[in-house]
Chain A
């Protein structure tokens, strides 16, 4: 099957990409000002203490050797240990990642439902009041910063109306409480993507409803509902799928601010804390994870693509 070839090819690319990304992250962390050893040692540490710490962490070895050691670890699933907490990085990420994933999935669901629906209605009611309003809101949705939107939503729905919790993501997503906790962060994180998906759906749909094959469908006597939901939508979704995939990738890596605003213990927050503490292994691990997921999501998009667009062949 051609698809199998694609998947193999993409995995090879993924491995190369991981090597590249890990190298860049590794290098930039070492070039950045701030020595982890002195941070770990604290302000009272003597020069000898710091040297001991460096020795202990292998920080005095040549950088390429350090990188080689790290890379070997990566491919065996060992991302090293946190300088700060001594916890295994793999473990820390496994612990935090579900929160980030839940947030990203909830956000993309919000974005797809709102975006696709708004886009299609806009296109079908081209130049109507709904179209104008949704275009305006979409424009706003793209430009509103997450921290501001998050704060406003908290103020309205958590502080004033007290419908939803202020923050935290402690209950599992399949419970009512868990869903309540997800709503505001998902809206905050998903609005930008909803806006992008809405714009793409609208323009794709506008193009498709003028297509010759749509006229053919009507000439065949196909019911209007099927003309829109089958003949149009199936074609219009092809470019939209790409935007959805890309956005999901962005959402996974873009949870930092939202996690911070809503006090969610996810990978994003872990990343901020680790950067502040010069906790190299933790930052590297987190960035690698996000990058890997981004590539994986794109692979999935390509596969979905092959299913809805028969013209695509991976030869």
Chain B
């Protein structure tokens, strides 16, 4: 078995708000294997970014991980000293963000920003870092990289800036790259290029990738494994073929049927009715039941446990209990 590079165990992240302490991530557990691409999908606001920022130790000042652990190569990132965590960031774990237009510092050149992690983590001289920077820009497909080094972010297009961000993130050969909707803000053609680039780089750099997206098209293209989040919970976890071919949770099925299918002219976009609950909304039982077309009495009363459809595929939905009872005579994976 390939070992996990990252394993998140029962992580709870809460925000201090005027309504009290509100959990935005409610007990997330998942792991990423070496060289694997994990996609985190779900509607906007379901807690994808907060999950990523919790791992990175980059939560907004009112947010805090209150429970659980995040194991990265036998170290719990949540209990690591600030300074030790800092020296991991941008070095062994990197992150790229959704908004290339604002993610780069407007008053520093591209060169300065790409040299920075190399000089901090690999202790390169300015000249060495500059040389490495040019190579990196070339590797991420930026034409005339040497002259780009002297340009400022505002002189670059959105797609180019995202490439620069990727070059910065990869500069120190990280073992894990967290990409938070890196293509959402870009044009469709540029999106495809960036996804292809990430796919290539992942192989070249032999790193693991956590890709956050709400685009199932991107998932199909890049994922090995998929976790589906809803209202702060992971409600389904499976390999990419399992998620696409036998989705278990009604929410996952809803997500899949809201993807336009170009091969099928009769396909109708079928988004899930209703909207994500607010953080301060109290919901009994399954957090999805108010929107679920199959909701039963039990769903309103009791929060579902995790059921395994296969050893690599699990979901939190009471519908699976009936099936399991029918098929295997009841075989639970236990509560989460």
Contacts of A235 in B (CB 8 A): 105-107
Cα–Cα distance between A216 and B86 once the two chains are bound (Å): 12
- Looking at A217, A221, A223, the one whose CB has the most chain B CB atoms below 10 A away is A221
B236 part of interface (Cβ distance < 8 Å): no
Contacts of B99 in A (CB 8 A): 212
Is B120 within 8 A of A223, CB to CB?
Answer: yes
Q: Which of A43-69 contact B (CB under 8 A)?
A: none
Q: Which of A292-315 contact B (CB under 8 A)?
A: 308-311
- How many A-B residue pairs have C-beta atoms within 8 angstroms? Tell me: 76
A interface residues (Cβ-Cβ under 8 A, vs B): 211-213, 215-224, 231, 234-235, 238, 308-311
Is A215 within 8 A of B105, CB to CB?
Answer: no
B46 part of interface (Cβ distance < 8 Å): no
Is A222 within 8 A of B116, CB to CB?
Answer: yes
Given contacts A212-B103, A213-B102, A234-B107, contact A219 B56 (CB under 8 A): yes
Is B87 within 8 A of A221, CB to CB?
Answer: yes
Cβ contact of A216, chosen from B103, B107, B109, cutoff 8 A: B103
Is A219 within 8 A of B120, CB to CB?
Answer: no
Query: Which residue of the partner chain A has the closest CB to B86?
Result: A221
Q: Which of B25-44 contact A (CB under 8 A)?
A: none
Q: How far is the CB of B306 from chain A (nearest CB, A)?
A: 32
Given contacts A235-B107, A309-B107, contact A219 B102 (CB under 8 A): no
Is A213 within 8 A of B120, CB to CB?
Answer: no
Q: Which of B56-111 contact A (CB under 8 A)?
A: 56, 58, 86-91, 94-95, 97, 99, 102-109
Contacts of A223 in B (CB 8 A): 86, 120
Contacts of B23 in A (CB 8 A): none
B interface residues (Cβ-Cβ under 8 A, vs A): 56, 58, 86-91, 94-95, 97, 99, 102-109, 116-117, 120-121, 152, 154, 165, 168-169
Contacts of B97 in A (CB 8 A): 212, 215-216, 219
Cβ contact of B89, chosen from A211, A219, A308, A310, cutoff 8 A: A219
Contacts of A231 in B (CB 8 A): 105, 108
Q: How far is the CB of B75 from chain A (nearest CB, A)?
A: 15
Contacts of B108 in A (CB 8 A): 231, 234
Is B89 within 8 A of A220, CB to CB?
Answer: yes
Q: How far is the CB of A307 from chain B (nearest CB, A)?
A: 10
Contacts of A221 in B (CB 8 A): 86-91, 117, 120-121
Cβ contact of A215, chosen from B58, B120, B152, cutoff 8 A: B58
Given contacts A216-B97, A219-B58, A222-B120, contact A311 B103 (CB under 8 A): no
Q: Known A-B contacts: A219-B58, A221-B90, A235-B107. Give 19 more (CB < 8 A).
A: A213-B103, A213-B104, A213-B106, A215-B97, A215-B103, A216-B105, A216-B165, A217-B105, A218-B86, A219-B90, A219-B95, A219-B169, A220-B90, A221-B86, A221-B121, A222-B90, A223-B120, A234-B108, A309-B107
Contacts of A216 in B (CB 8 A): 97, 103-105, 165, 168
Contacts of B95 in A (CB 8 A): 219
Cα–Cα distance between A223 and B102 once the two chains are bound (Å): 20
Q: How far is the CB of B309 from chain A (nearest CB, A)?
A: 36
Leading 4 A-B pairs by shortest Cβ distance: A221-B90, A220-B90, A212-B102, A213-B105
